[in-house]
């Protein structure tokens, strides 16, 4: 008995406040304790093996056993385990990574600011946007638009950017000056007889109307993930970004591409912005930047923003922003090694090769009576389950259909993620093979069959 009381599960329930968990339910259900990992597999404390169909949280792109990343961290920690970038200090790995990111990113990025998570990256982006507009004498231009169902993190500003009710409700968010516009999900919000292109035009028209209603001189920036991830793997409709960018340009509104999920190969190009013809003014990256072996994120900014921020810091005496761990040497070293491996192993070509296989296998579920839409590209996808296929009516959210499918899939040995609207997401490590994709999808198919 005392063993049970002191078991890791009992202590977890007692001491750990879990992110994104029904904490009441957790007291009865208890945790899944993951102990070991290799490649695309993880193993729990009872010895059960699972394919990690989500690469953790859309992040362990090189899988779970990449020794070179372990070595890169260890080597760096022996040489210089910690240093910071405050007050003119620096170290060469941080310089190398900033240069590498600016060189490889689309949209003429001039400088990189380092943080530790996607949330901190987006929080920093918000602050840079405000600081920049004060710097260039446009203090009224402060409103930031993001999209319903967009996901940008959970700090106060980034949770405000996020467009999901559970990130706002009872947290008293969103904060002032952050507001939400249409979710461009054609399957859900396209009107009867409306083509995908016409829907994209309507989205852009609505955005223009909103900017005019708010007053163009008050709207500073628009945040968008190339593919909306945690909101349900929602792909932009054809011509969407082309039309949205024309509106933003017209009213001098900055475009921030949140590449936290899409960056580094996920969509079959190095960046989601390349897949969808996005030319951002700023970009946030995290997750696959280090294959998640150590926490690191970066905000990349264009020349004009870097210059504006620099001038203002000169005027004010300092740029009053930065984290203790901005550019942490070990995290930076792991990121540099990760980018080297992507290059050497041609990770983008690999995604181009195996991605269509995943997409084909997922589309086999289109015939299922409760599958409304299968969507995705590269190595990201989702299957949306609906109560009524003909009317697209969703299941009653209180029934937790997506969560049940996710739990059954876990019993069958594949870890996936239920996103809002009962869409089950797939985002496996980018190193996954066609055989492993088959194994993952076959296991998921057993879970779907057992529910039918």
Within 98-253, strands assigned E span 109-115, 143-147, 178-181, 219-224
**Rounded least distance, CB 140 to ligand PLP, Å:** 28
Return the number of the residue (229 or 280) whose C-beta is nearest ligand PLP.
Answer: 229
Interaction mask 278-317, ligand PLP, x per CB under 6 A: --------x-------------------------------
**Rounded least distance, CB 157 to ligand PLP, Å:** 12
Return the number of the residue (229 or 355) whose C-beta is nearest ligand PLP.
Answer: 229
Number of H helices, E strands in the chain: 18, 15
Q: Is 336 in the site for ligand PLP (CB under 6 A)?
A: no
**Which uninterrupted H or E stretch holds 43?**
strand 41-44
Interaction mask 241-260, ligand PLP, x per CB under 6 A: -----------------x-x
- What are the beta bridge partners of residue 198? none
Q: Using CB under 6 A, which of the segments 147-155, 200-208, 352-360, 395-403 binds ligand PLP? A: 147-155
CA 29 from chain center: how many Å?
28
Return the number of the residue (98 or 298) whose C-beta is nearest ligand PLP.
Answer: 298
Task: Say which residue the tokens 């998570």 belong to.
Answer: 117
Q: Using CB under 6 A, which of the segments 46-54, 148-156, 335-343, 366-374 binds ligand PLP? A: 148-156
Helices marked H in 16-64: 23-29, 55-58
What does the angle CA 280 – CA 284 – CA 290 come to, to the nearest 5 degrees?
135
**Rounded least distance, CB 201 to ligand PLP, Å:** 25
- CA-based nearest residue to 228, from 287, 274, 280, 163: 163
- What are the beta bridge partners of residue 371? 385
Interaction mask 32-71, ligand PLP, x per CB under 6 A: -------------------------x--------------
How far apart CA 213 and CA 215 sit, in angstroms, is: 5
Task: Say which residue the tokens 């009867």 belong to.
Answer: 192
Q: Is 152 in the site for ligand PLP (CB under 6 A)?
A: yes
- CA-based nearest residue to 251, from 211, 297, 279: 211
Question: How many chain residues are in contact with ligand PLP, going by CB under 6 A?
Answer: 15
How far apart CA 144 and CA 128 sit, in angstroms, is: 12
Q: Is 230 in the site for ligand PLP (CB under 6 A)?
A: yes
Which of 208, 225, 373, 384 touches ligand PLP (CB under 6 A)? 225
Return the number of the residue (123 or 422) whose C-beta is nearest ligand PLP.
Answer: 123
How far apart CA 175 and CA 347 sit, in angstroms, is: 39
Return the number of the residue (19 or 137) whose C-beta is nearest ligand PLP.
Answer: 19
Return the number of the residue (377 or 386) whose C-beta is nearest ligand PLP.
Answer: 377
Which of 53, 93, 153, 378 touches ligand PLP (CB under 6 A)? 153
Return the number of the residue (63 or 121) whose C-beta is nearest ligand PLP.
Answer: 121
**Rounded least distance, CB 331 to ligand PLP, Å:** 12
**Rounded least distance, CB 171 to ligand PLP, Å:** 15
C-alpha to C-alpha distances, 161 to 24, 44, 153, 258, 419, nearest whole angstrom: 27, 35, 8, 11, 18
How far apart CA 227 and CA 242 sit, in angstroms, is: 14
Interaction mask 117-146, ligand PLP, x per CB under 6 A: xxx--x------------------------
How far apart CA 279 and CA 111 sit, in angstroms, is: 16
Q: Which residue is nearest to ligand PLP (CB)?
A: 118
- CA-based nearest residue to 117, from 257, 285, 240, 268: 285
Task: Say which residue the tokens 């599960």 belong to.
Answer: 9
- CA-based nearest residue to 346, from 423, 431, 408: 431
Q: Is 229 in the site for ligand PLP (CB under 6 A)?
A: yes
Return the number of the residue (57 or 403) whose C-beta is nearest ligand PLP.
Answer: 57
Binding footprint of ligand PLP on the chain (CB under 6 A) = 57, 117-119, 122, 151-153, 225, 229-230, 258, 260-261, 286
């Amino acid at each position: 008995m005392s063993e049970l009381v002191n078991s890791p599960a009992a202590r977890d329930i007692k001491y750990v406040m879990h992110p994104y968990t029904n904490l009441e339910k957790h007291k009865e259900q208890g945790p899944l304790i993951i102990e070991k990992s290799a490649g695309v597999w993880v193993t729990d404390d009872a010895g059960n093996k699972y394919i990690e169909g989500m690469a953790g949280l859309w992040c362990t792109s090189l899988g779970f056993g990449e020794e070179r990343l372990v070595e890169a961290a260890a080597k760096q920690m022996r040489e210089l385990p910690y240093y910071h970038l405050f007050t003119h200090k620096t170290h060469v790995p941080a310089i190398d990574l900033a240069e590498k990111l600016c060189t490889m990113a689309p949209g003429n990025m001039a400088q990189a600011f380092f943080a530790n998570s996607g949330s901190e990256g987006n929080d920093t982006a918000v602050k840079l946007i405000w600081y920049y507009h004060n710097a260039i004498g446009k203090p009224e231009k402060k409103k930031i638009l993001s999209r319903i169902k967009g996901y940008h993190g959970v700090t106060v500003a980034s949770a405000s950017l996020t467009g999901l009710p559970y990130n706002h409700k009872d947290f008293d968010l969103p904060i002032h000056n952050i507001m939400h516009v249409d979710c461009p999900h054609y399957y859900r919000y396209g009107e009867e007889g409306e083509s995908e292109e016409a829907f994209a035009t309507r989205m852009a028209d609505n955005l223009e109307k909103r900017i005019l209603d708010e007053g163009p001189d008050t709207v500073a920036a628009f945040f968008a993930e190339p593919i909306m991830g945690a909101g349900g793997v929602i792909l932009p409709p054809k011509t969407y970004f082309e039309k949205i960018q024309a509106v933003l340009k017209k009213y001098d509104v900055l475009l921030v591409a949140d590449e936290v999920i899409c960056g580094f190969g996920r969509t079959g190009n190095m960046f989601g912005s390349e897949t969808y013809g996005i030319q951002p003014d700023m970009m946030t990256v995290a997750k696959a930047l280090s294959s998640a072996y150590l926490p690191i994120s970066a905000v990349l900014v264009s020349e004009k923003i870097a210059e504006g921020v620099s001038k203002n810091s000169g005027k004010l005496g300092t740029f009053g922003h930065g984290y203790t761990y901005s550019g942490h040497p070990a995290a930076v070293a792991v990121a540099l090694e990760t980018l080297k491996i992507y290059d050497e192993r041609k990770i983008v070509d690999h995604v181009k090769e195996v991605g269509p296989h995943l997409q084909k296998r997922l589309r086999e579920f289109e015939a299922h009576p409760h599958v409304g839409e299968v969507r995705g590209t590269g190595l990201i996808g989702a299957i949306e389950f609906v109560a009524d296929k003909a009317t697209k009516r969703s299941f009653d959210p209180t029934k937790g259909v997506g969560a049940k499918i996710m739990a059954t899939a876990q019993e069958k040995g594949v870890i996936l993620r239920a996103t809002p609207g009962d869409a089950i997401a797939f985002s496996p490590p980018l190193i996954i093979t066609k055989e492993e994709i088959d194994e993952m999808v076959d296991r998921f198919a057993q879970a779907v069959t057992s529910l039918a």
